[in-house]
Amino acid sequence: MTASIFTFLEQIGFTHPLHPGLTHLPMGMVMGCFFFSLVAWLGKKPEFNRTALHCAALGLVFVVPTVIAGLLDWLHRYGGQMQPLIITKMVLAALLPLLLAWAIRLHHTAAKENMLVLAYSLCLACAIGLGFAGGELVYGG
């Protein structure tokens, strides 16, 4: 199945991997929710938590196609070969939506701002780990 997808894309002139182009949306949203919650907490501006919530929700939505594209690229370019960095990315890719969902849940239960910052800090750490593992996988170490 993956071969037919990539064959079609190559026929229309698209020869790049799918995953890298999609990563910017969820990763940017994770950074956004972290920084907006930090501003809300440190600047005593709770209205910024609403923006953090919107960033988390949008990030959660776009994690799904990003993970699917990553799996397709992995199957196509690496033949589904299990490597430590792939396993790391799979674990973190499964963890990130759970952390984002937890942060969204905290918003809906009116959690304290320091808990929101903690949740978003964990989301950011997960996103950084995903990016680092992806960079090491592609560019080597």
d(CA 139, CA 141): 7
Q: For residue range 47-78, what is the model confidence (pLDDT) as tens digits?
A: 999 999 999 999 999 999 999 999 999 998 88
Does 7 map to a domain?
A: no
Residue 130 inside a domain? The answer is yes
The answer as to whether 14 is a domain residue is: no
Average pLDDT for the chain:
93
For the stretch 19-45, pLDDT in tens is 888 999 999 999 999 999 999 999 999
Element (H, E) at 49: helix 48-78
Where b means 16+ CB within 10 Å and e means fewer, 49-64 reads bebbbebbbbbbebbe
Q: Is residue 72 part of a domain?
A: yes
pLDDT of residue 138: 84
- Which of 64-67's residues contact partners 24+ apart within 8 Å by CB, and which partners? 64/97, 65/22, 66/19, 66/22, 66/23, 66/25, 66/26, 67/93
89-128, pLDDT tens digit by residue? 999 999 999 999 999 999 999 889 999 999 999 999 999 9
In this structure, is residue 2 part of a structural domain?
Answer: no
The answer as to whether 66 is a domain residue is yes
Burial code of 65-98, b = ≥16 C-beta within 10 A, e = fewer?
Answer: ebbebbbbbbbbeeeeeeeebbebbbebbebbbe
Number of domains observed in the structure of the chain: 1
Answer yes or no: is 13 within a domain. Answer: no
In a domain, 80, yes or no: yes
Residue 52: which domain range? Answer: 19-139
